[in-house]
Structure 1
Amino acid sequence: MIESLKKRIVRRGSLAFSLTALLAQNIFYSWAAPPPSPEDWLPEDALAIITLPNYEAAKE
């Protein structure tokens, strides 16, 4: 029983380590990547949709 508990603890520890390493790798790659262009952030009419109460009427 003690051996199975030890194996379970080791498995959990290695899983936690693997997930932490994967998270760190994703963060590093996201920082290393160039930022997206502003066109990729928002759709073309996003500001108009946000600021105008009746966008469909203003669009015509």
Structure 2
Amino acid sequence: MLDLNEEAGSSIVFPSVFTQGDMPIFAEVLERDARIRDRSKHKALKNDLIEHIWKKFGR
């Protein structure tokens, strides 16, 4: 992780992470992105996340 507040030469660089297996087809990536950007889907995901947080952590 690079911390610009640290003295030069003291930052840590982690190695790249590579995954094995099938890479998502680019069209699928674009489709997923479009679904997430869809206003109604976004609101539904947001509400689901809020509900999940309430169930997990309560008041």
Q: Which TM-score applies when normalising by structure 2?
A: 0.35
Q: Rg bigger for which structure?
A: 1
Larger RCO, structures 1/2 (Cα 8 Å, 6+ apart)? 2
Structure with the higher fraction of residues in helix conformation:
1
Q: Which TM-score applies when normalising by structure 1?
A: 0.34
